[in-house]
Amino acid sequence: MIIRRATIEDLDDIWQLANESFAPSPWPKEVFEHELGSPRSIYFVTTGGFLGATQILDEVEVGSLGVSPKFQHQGIGEALLMAVFALPKTKRVLLEVASTNTAAQALYHKVGFQPYYRREKYYKNGDDAIMMERKID
């Protein structure tokens, strides 16, 4: 599996992957376009999956992670998170996940994330958000 940093050239592929993994409601394409053009954003892409994050000093916040259904259960999500953990200067990785998204929570627990706060009714559908962090030694 080859994981590489994405650029604006990858916009169409990432948008396609977002549509497949977040159906029926991915973010608008303009959001990915804006983020891929922003110097604070870090996107990784591989065949079947992508991850988008923002780095501020030694903290990285993962804003999106999607693996297309036909590529799931092959270790792609885990490998994309490992790429984040390996970013220089990173001491803490943060993300939020819907309380009903048990697949993503299982993945995050497996790679060492721990919950630190619950935001009630955070999502439009009424789901709570679980805020999770992973410290890097």
Residues that bind ligand COA (CB under 6 A): 21-22, 65-67, 72-78, 97, 101, 103-104, 106-107, 110
Shortest spacing between CB 98 and ligand COA, in angstroms: 7
Shortest spacing between CB 57 and ligand COA, in angstroms: 23
CB-nearest residue to ligand COA: 77
Q: Which is nearer to ligand COA, 1 or 39 (CB)?
A: 1
Q: For residue 128, what are its two tokens?
A: 């709570």
Contact yes or no for 96/129 (Cβ under 8 A): yes
Q: Which is nearer to ligand COA, 8 or 23 (CB)?
A: 23
Shortest spacing between CB 41 and ligand COA, in angstroms: 17
Contact yes or no for 68/21 (Cβ under 8 A): yes
Which backbone phi and psi does 115 adopt, to 5 degrees?
A: -70, 140
Contacts of 40 (CB under 8 A, 6+ apart): 54, 55, 56
Query: Is the alpha carbon torsion for 76, 98, 61, 15 positive or negative?
Result: positive
Shortest spacing between CB 103 and ligand COA, in angstroms: 3
Q: Which is nearer to ligand COA, 37 or 69 (CB)?
A: 69
Q: Which is nearer to ligand COA, 57 or 106 (CB)?
A: 106
CA distances from 16 to 48, 67, 68, 88, 113 (A): 10, 11, 9, 29, 28
Q: Which is nearer to ligand COA, 16 or 72 (CB)?
A: 72
Shortest spacing between CB 23 and ligand COA, in angstroms: 9
